[in-house]
Chains A and B, each alone.
Chain A
């Protein structure tokens, strides 16, 4: 695998994670439990879609063809490189917060380290994105604590969300030859090395939230980085991609 091919794939992974989670959060717009939270979810969505534009735009540039929009709207599910966690449906508010909590924690650690790598565009995008996901992580962890240490119902719903989404946490640290090619050149971060810090963040928040960390020995999904996805991604793309596919190059 050439360095250029690996860099393209790496940018797709970063961009697709942001894009898919950003789209999921945008589905809350107008449905938030309170006005402030509706605004917060839309803000986080906007940050993520902005990050996706940066990474997908750079991927297109590396490839030498197409644009950020082409990559977002003209690929099918098997060509998406996001982790399965972010495509999981919103569920209730607890599910949405747990999903963003898990993702923000790894994104925070990933971007923090990526900001020191060699490629000027990737490290620049990482430096910018880091500040944003720091806010997301703080927001989500505050909610996990409020919900977990809240009423009997909020505690139960949050624990259920942890159990349902735990299967998708192992793949946050999945790597393959794309990563290996780039790590050697100081162009990427070894996600496996971030596991302990991620665990520390999760454990600390769950403890304060009086929630139980799910059992690690259960079945764990993997393969998102190679285009293996749950059935949910296809439905998400059908909605997200409808307009540009039905009316190519339309302007409004």
Chain B
């Protein structure tokens, strides 16, 4: 932990994490970019320099650029002038990084959260032996996949045959 002459500058990495925690995911604003697991590392270099490492959820996720800008803007507001954002690829992002409370936030927002990733989720052909997904609205497991690809790269489309509601699923990844 470093101290600074400028009282407006937050100096501990924990405080930085707390600041970044307030940045919502641009496409699923119910959770923050920290909860999503996109922010991987924070390194304060000196009083006004900071480096933040981020990792994409999906290679082509168009929200990554917005997240970068949001991080820069937020840190600028907290007195940092020299902000470096580095994109890293390893370890690859996985939905297993989402905590139980984050998954609950997704569910409350109307998105079926990801199940724990198993080898079955990652088999490319043939039948997948995975538990049926519960509808985030009525809890019924009488649901069916409409399409593996949804409104954003990270979501699939489902339909609930019990409450007749289409819903989105945050894919296991």
Category for how many chain A residues contact B: 35 or more
- Which chain B residues lie closer than 8 Å to A39 at the CB level? 147, 149-151
- Which chain B residues lie closer than 8 Å to A130 at the CB level? 92
Q: Chain B residues in contact with chain A, CB under 8 A?
A: 56, 58-62, 88-93, 122-126, 146-151, 153, 157, 171, 173
A205 and B59 alpha carbons, distance in the complex (Å) = 27
- Which chain A residues lie closer than 8 Å to B125 at the CB level? 137-138, 141, 201, 204-205
> Could you pull out 26 A-B pairs where Cβ atoms are within 8 angstroms?
A22-B60, A36-B147, A40-B148, A45-B60, A46-B61, A47-B59, A47-B60, A48-B60, A50-B56, A54-B59, A54-B89, A105-B124, A121-B90, A124-B90, A125-B59, A128-B59, A128-B89, A131-B122, A131-B173, A134-B123, A134-B124, A135-B149, A137-B125, A138-B125, A139-B148, A141-B124
- Which chain A residues lie closer than 8 Å to B150 at the CB level? 39, 43
- Which chain B residues lie closer than 8 Å to A205 at the CB level? 125
Which residue from chain B places its CB closest to the CB of A145 in the assembled complex?
Answer: B125
3 closest A-B pairs (Cβ-Cβ)?
A: A50-B60, A50-B59, A124-B90
Instruction: Please state if B148 and A138 are interface contacts (CB–CB under 8 Å).
Output: yes
A184 and B58 alpha carbons, distance in the complex (Å) = 31
Q: Nearest Cβ distance between residue B53 and chain A, in whole angstroms?
A: 12
A128 and B94 alpha carbons, distance in the complex (Å) = 9
A78 and B146 alpha carbons, distance in the complex (Å) = 41
A49 within 8 A of B: yes
Q: What 17 additional pairs, Cβ within 8 angstroms, besides A104-B124, A135-B171, A138-B124?
A: A22-B60, A36-B146, A39-B147, A39-B151, A46-B62, A46-B153, A47-B153, A53-B59, A108-B124, A121-B89, A127-B90, A127-B92, A131-B122, A138-B125, A139-B148, A141-B125, A204-B125
| Cross-chain pair count, CB within 8 angstroms | 92
Q: Chain A residues in contact with chain B, CB under 8 A?
A: 22, 36-37, 39-40, 43-51, 53-54, 104-105, 108, 120-121, 123-125, 127-132, 134-135, 137-139, 141, 201, 204-205
A135 and B126 alpha carbons, distance in the complex (Å) = 12
Instruction: Please state if A128 and B148 are interface contacts (CB–CB under 8 Å).
Output: no
A206 and B171 alpha carbons, distance in the complex (Å) = 27
A123 and B92 alpha carbons, distance in the complex (Å) = 10
Instruction: Please state if B149 and A44 are interface contacts (CB–CB under 8 Å).
Output: yes
- Which chain B residues lie closer than 8 Å to A46 at the CB level? 58, 60-62, 153
- Which chain A residues lie closer than 8 Å to B149 at the CB level? 36, 39-40, 43-44, 135, 139
A214 and B25 alpha carbons, distance in the complex (Å) = 47
Q: Nearest Cβ distance between residue B122 and chain A, in whole angstroms?
A: 6
A50 and B92 alpha carbons, distance in the complex (Å) = 14
Instruction: Please state if A128 and B92 are interface contacts (CB–CB under 8 Å).
Output: yes
Which residue from chain A places its CB closest to the CB of B155 in the assembled complex?
Answer: A43
Interface centre among B56, B58, B150, B171 (most CB of A within 10 A): B58
